[in-house]
Amino acid sequence: MFKLENISKQYKGQQVLKAANLEIGEKEMISIMGRSGAGKSTLLGIMAGLIKPDSGRALFKGEDLTHLDEETLAGFRLKHIGIVFQDFKLIPSLSVYDNILLGIYPRRDLSKSDKAGRIHGLAKRVGLEHKLKEKADNLSGGEKQRVAIARSLVNQPGIVLADEPTGNLDAATSDSIMSLFRELHQTLQTSFIIVTHDREIAQKTERTYIMQEGELI
């Protein structure tokens, strides 16, 4: 469903990605490891259409993203891509409900009650239905990441890109977040890419790539 072909990217003469190739199928869950600065976040940015590669193709269901204009890319991202960050990126003063809503509010093709239904359904899946009215600021790190995961899924994307989603969490909380990803992966029609520095986390996915010298091996 997503295929990267010979992706290259340099910053000011520094060749970050050389000839990166990656293929992930429908409903697959894979992980990417590699040293700091290897280019993992850059690669996810290219898949999300946030970063233009210098060359190569990024094919989502056969369509090459690398030539799309900004507006088309924004629409593509909203509909098909979910993103989860290490630092959650919630709005602290807003409720859990409103933080999840943020993932979906620009959609005009969904009614208010459709949106509410999705938010309640996802809050239940991530185990936070009893906290929907709580301010994000008042949640634990693990709970914040659960909200961010719900937000990433509210558009029913084809793929979720998670950039070190357990990087700010202790070992036990990381385990519970990984169990949540696995459960979601088993029950949803969504693919997941998990970038991690933790071998145990990577081992819980179906396949692990290593980013090394600008390539995925």
Q: If binding is defined by CB under 5 A, does position 166 make contact with Mg ion?
A: no
Cβ burial, residue 112 (10 Å; 0-12/13-18/19+): exposed
Cα–Cα distances in angstroms (integers) from residue 92 to residues 88, 89, 159, in the given order: 10, 9, 26
41 lies in the site for Mg ion, by CB under 5 A: yes
Instruction: Return d(Cα 133, Cα 188) in angstroms, integer.
Output: 25
When asked if residue 53 is in the footprint of ligand ATP (CB under 6 A), the reply is no
Least Cβ distance, residue 37 to ligand ATP (angstroms): 4
Q: Are 195 and 44 in contact (CB under 8 A)?
A: yes
- Span of 11-19, 33-41, 110-118, 135-143 interacting with Mg ion by CB under 5 A: 33-41
Quick note: the x/- pattern for ligand ATP over 25-44, rule CB under 6 A, is ---------x-xxxxxxx--
Taking CA atoms, 65 is separated from 6, 20, 54, 106, in Å, by 14, 16, 13, 21
Considering the complex, what minimum distance in angstroms separates the CB of residue 114 from Mg ion? 34
For residue 190, give the amino acid letter.
Answer: T
Question: If contact means CB under 5 to 8 A according to the sort of partner, which of ligand ATP, Mg ion, none does residue 157 touch?
Answer: none
Spatial separation of the C-alpha atoms in residues 194 and 9, rounded to whole Å: 21
How far CA 173 is from CA of 7, 46, 99, 196, 204, in Å, comes to: 34, 29, 21, 15, 15
Q: How far is the CB of 159 from Mg ion (least distance, A)?
A: 18
Rounded least distance, CB 126 to ligand ATP, Å? 25
Least separation in angstroms between residue 33's CB and ligand ATP is 9
* Interaction of residue 189 with ligand ATP, rule CB under 6 A: no
The nearer residue to Mg ion, 28 or 163, going by C-beta atoms, is 163
Q: Please tell me whether residue 66 binds Mg ion under the rule CB under 5 A.
A: no
Give residues in contact with Mg ion (CB under 5 A).
41
Binding site for ligand ATP (CB under 6 A): 11, 16, 34, 36-42
